[in-house]
Structure 1
């Protein structure tokens, strides 16, 4: 069996999928140590993995980013992008790398598994003598390609000979202008910590990993003629499982004749209902639909009052029972939530542009599985028009079901285990 070191920045949206990875590998008999933030000790230890804390310089409370990074408040646009890249991702890299080195010195491993925002992995990959490194794709594939625009812009591929030209010009703009100062900082950090000159754009470091395991399926990802052989698609990590959660008393209403619209802002970006839930409930209150709202763990009492007559709400809802009855899934475009909808063949309306959501929502439109509202704060009219269109046009559901079939056929975490074992097979003791 293998010994692995799993590394993640302390982001809830990254930790939770990785706890599924840890739980699976531990159950399969592998030795798993999990390096991440102190807030997630309990979640890590519940998987059976050994928790390793990040140093204080690389740890923070992701539930209140304004308190963790007070200088971040009020920043937007290019200034906000540069500040986040420098302060949230780059500057913790030295402490991250120190923690990785300490973990490797204490106990050798067969492979280091990292998610893409754990920047210390890029420094680890610069070393001539290093362990096997596997990137875990918890967001849309960020590998550079002649066929895709730079990651983060939310721009779909452009067909024809102009596509590669456009993509190269955009890449130069991002690398030299948008993130030029951050690139210089990354180069200096790399030189200080490794003694080596950084190669290429710092955001493209995952291309040098021994494997990139993408938690999606090819039909929900842009085609790339230059896709490296190191990339493996295994489908989403978390699959819908039978739920024992008690059903709300209004549940039988889902079996009625009205179309069901499931509305959520997920479990992380759900503190401000004015972004999506409030305008969506207003948009649909006079429509002939049943609106089912999940607050993602917040008390239902925090929702705007009074609820529309056609709205029902709960903190959490069992997707295994809800989604087969759902006609449209309205969300802010979280990667995990979108894949849950696709797994069940449910078409989407998405509204999100922060973090990686611009890339997720762009792929929703590109794959034909839903409508991208291209904003963090849609108007009620935008939501209403989009839901009406998705309900009226069966092509969205057909496309979603096609990708759902691909997800059902994908190997999941067994595929990740095979990748790890194939990479380290000479040293694996059966």
Structure 2
């Protein structure tokens, strides 16, 4: 006979397992979201690869309420890192269709290395939506990859090692980029994706327009908060016009950029209000940039108690957002903290990032297998006294941690299981082989 749940110590998942209806009429089957992670698995021609299909086939079997891809670039001249998928036109439409079909269970894995005993894909009625994150890196573009000088709202370089001073965009250039977002969204819809997420966090182009530190314009695109947020609103309007009412459009938005004189929580709240008025479907809260990586520091005691980095801010905009769901990503590890955050109305969706690299079926473990927590790898550099003399250990730890998790995604893409015991040395070697001179440059999902 089945075990009586009243006699187990399973944590409550009543709120995590509840479905969620979006403004566009679509439903998320539960409250657990696979947040965007930079996979670096694009083909050499910037199209999707079989490895990317295999990775998303595994996540499709994981029981998520929503899955968001890693950032897909809208301009091949300006890419964040090697291995980015790029959408500029329909040249990769068949590959994009295969990517979406693999996730939706319509394209089986023919690989001899496909993991055995993987669970069946969910039934169509319960199918997890797949959203494509679309992005332009602006001044954070890797010039060695794109072979072009980065562009930005103003000619202000990021304060990170190796940053290139960008070229200031003209009005025509700004409008051309807006059109690129719309084109990418339209092609994502044609390929079978259920929505897109605009990347408005972590110092990328949308964030650069929002911040007074990187946007020093005095024309229609800058000079005060209202004009600085015009770019993101125009991108949202253009993507909506290019798709359909039932096609979801979300955004990943910084709560702040955590720099003196930069994009503040007060301005972020104003942006939330404007996005809600324009019909955004979901807002994921994040924060920081290459210059100030908010998720790599020491948590305040109040933050540590509730685990999530941005939960306090999310709670302040919950009423402001009205019927638009708020997702929070970063720091959640225990199931009790996740369920309590949703129960308290502090957020509506729990975003899971790095844990999904090691446990691609994390939601199934949480919702059906009684898991109490998710693993945290906490990758750090060795030889700390020596390395601390020549480099910023906090930044190096962050780069190694992100790259270690990227290695896990590459293992899954190759048809293997994740390897939680993978050494830092092997990660550093793989980084150098994969990215060459750009290996130790910071990157964010």
Q: Does TM, scored on the shorter chain, surpass 0.5? A: no
User: Which of the five TM-score ranges fits, normalised by the shorter chain?
Assistant: 0.3 to 0.5
Larger radius of gyration: 1
Compute the TM-score of the two structures, normalised by the length of structure 2.
0.31
Compute the TM-score of the two structures, normalised by the length of structure 1.
0.32
- Greater helix fraction, Structure 1 or Structure 2: 1
Q: Which has the higher contact order (CA 8 A, sep 6+)?
A: 2
